[in-house]
Chains A and B, each alone.
Chain A
């Protein structure tokens, strides 16, 4: 009998906090500097140096906690996690263990089928990032760059609430959206600012007890998360169905081979000997601090989506897409503001359609869009006031994108203005009727389908500029009268 396996996934997301300086030192956190130029005595763990906590990192962690309705700990404690690794200069990582700054929050995630699932966030704690080991260009050796060491991280730990790779990705994307909304993380996954470890296990459906889990380390793209989980689930199911057992271990996802493999090097010393860091005191967060942070909370993605749906009569889907980032929401809202709320659907279609595909095609962030909200709303106003048709507007948009000019300039230069002069349209209709006597006769004898032929001929003669509404009316009148 085939077992029906249920997948259980929990994610540990590491978000680098967007502070200017490191969590325990005054070094810069800028990405991409030459090796070790952003590693000061504290980051290098020089003898005698001491950590001093960056208040902004705490503020950002609290902001995150408030955004997921979590409990903000009035007292949290930094502990030392002891292990030896070349990218860990002190031989311990300063992290929060028993008393994290954020406890018990939750997040609503919309799945592909439109249903909403609530995922529990067990905790979020502050810790320091490690440096990097580089292997290229060194014979049998590795080079250590400690620029990243000490960059503040918020580790966001979920409950094992996800039941598929897709759910895991949806949750991760939601956190990604949230941290960027909150402006606490730049979310840049290529640079490693946002990455995750996935705890994956399987169990026969209906069983309460979890299966043994494997932890897949350092997944730095949504696609890798999905693929790594797929691979890992298949591996575990194969193993169990062939009578084997899953080991609790740390595994690494190899994106080139699309497989996970055991990281024995990390397994060896698994006794971290956590204890409170005597160089740091308990962090006390009072009501005043929390309220000051609460006052800086922006409108959150779910709130924005609900408002878009309500105020602009958009579908839940459209509202969700348009609120996926603060920048996209802001772009959309400025277009709507210029057009009037009555044309919100037109704005939504254009932002999610032409604009999104142009941005996507040229891999441009919306902040740097070559067509600004003002330019786009000016273009859409020309549809609204019937200067051009929607079809012509797409042509104008492409020209605006490549030439950087206003809609009006392009309409003028290319002579794309709609013909709305009834006399002029009638003149063209007359000429078309005169040139096609057979079709005219057939139409008049009952072949109604030929109406489209006449529309096409007029449009061809006017290069698509005849106002479609007017053309319809005038054509009907002319064809009907003999």
Chain B
């Protein structure tokens, strides 16, 4: 199955990626070839095989004790932030 430019535009929007005009045809071609490649899976009869999300079967989630272990380091953490004001991360206006 090959993808159209519209498909790629839609995916890029969902993934929040700007794609330039020059890049676009490259992605249409390469994503199409990847999708064709992975289409090999559709020919496998999987019937009632259980999907496998983790490599080690039968493992279960450990539960952590409800204890506060972290203290305030916001200044250190915010040293990496592109824009901070009064302890808040600043972004263009969020419209609800």
Give chain A's interface residues, CB within 8 Å of chain B: 19-21, 25-28, 34-41, 44, 46, 52-58, 77-78, 84-87, 133-135, 137-138, 140-146, 252, 263, 265-266, 269, 271, 273, 275-276, 278, 280-284
Contact = CB atoms under 8 A, between A and B. Distances in A.
Contacts of A252: 96
Given A46-B77, A278-B53, A86 B89 contact: yes
B82 interface: no
Contacts of B62: 52-53, 281
Nearest to B87: A35
Given A36-B88, A281-B62, 12 more contacts: A26-B64, A36-B74, A37-B87, A57-B66, A133-B94, A134-B88, A138-B93, A140-B92, A143-B85, A144-B90, A283-B61, A284-B61
B72 interface: yes
A88 to B, nearest CB: 11
B70 interface: yes
Contacts of A25: 70
Interface string B54-93: 1000011111111111101110011000000111111111
B95 interface: yes
Nearest to A60: B66
B60 A284 contact: yes
B70 to A, nearest CB: 4
A426 B88 CA distance: 79
10 contacts: A26-B68, A27-B70, A39-B74, A39-B77, A54-B64, A57-B66, A138-B90, A144-B90, A266-B96, A283-B60
Top-7 shortest CB links A-B: A143-B88, A55-B63, A26-B69, A56-B66, A35-B87, A40-B70, A37-B72
Contacts of B86: 35, 137, 143
Nearest to A141: B90
B43 interface: no
Contact of A265 (B73, B77, B95): B95
Given A34-B87, A35-B88, A278-B54, A142 B93 contact: yes
B14 interface: yes
B16 interface: yes
Interface residues of B, number: 34
Interface string B28-65: 00000000000000000000000001100001111111
B74 A86 contact: no
Contact of B64 (A55, A85, A141): A55
A20 to B, nearest CB: 5
B66 A21 contact: yes
Interface of B: 13-14, 16, 53-54, 59-70, 72-74, 77-78, 85-96
Nearest to B56: A281
A142 B83 CA distance: 11
B9 to A, nearest CB: 14
Contact of A53 (B64, B87, B89): B64
Nearest to A276: B53
Contacts of A145: 87-88
A21 B59 CA distance: 25
Contact of B85 (A56, A138, A284): A138
Contacts of A273: 14
Nearest to A270: B14
Given A86-B89, A133-B94, A19 B72 contact: no
Contacts of B54: 278, 281
A53 B59 contact: no
Contacts of B91: 86, 133, 141-142, 144
Given A28-B68, A39-B74, A282 B61 contact: yes
A142 B64 contact: no
A20 B88 contact: no
A20 B70 CA distance: 12
Contact of A58 (B63, B67, B70, B88): B63
Nearest to B92: A141
B68 A20 contact: yes
Contacts of A39: 74, 77
B66 A52 contact: no
A38 B72 contact: yes
Contacts of B60: 281-284
Nearest to A142: B94
A84 B92 CA distance: 14
A73 to B, nearest CB: 13
A303 to B, nearest CB: 27
Contacts of A142: 90-94
A41 B77 contact: yes
A78 B61 CA distance: 10
Contact of A36 (B13, B78, B95): B78
Contacts of A36: 74, 77-78, 87-89
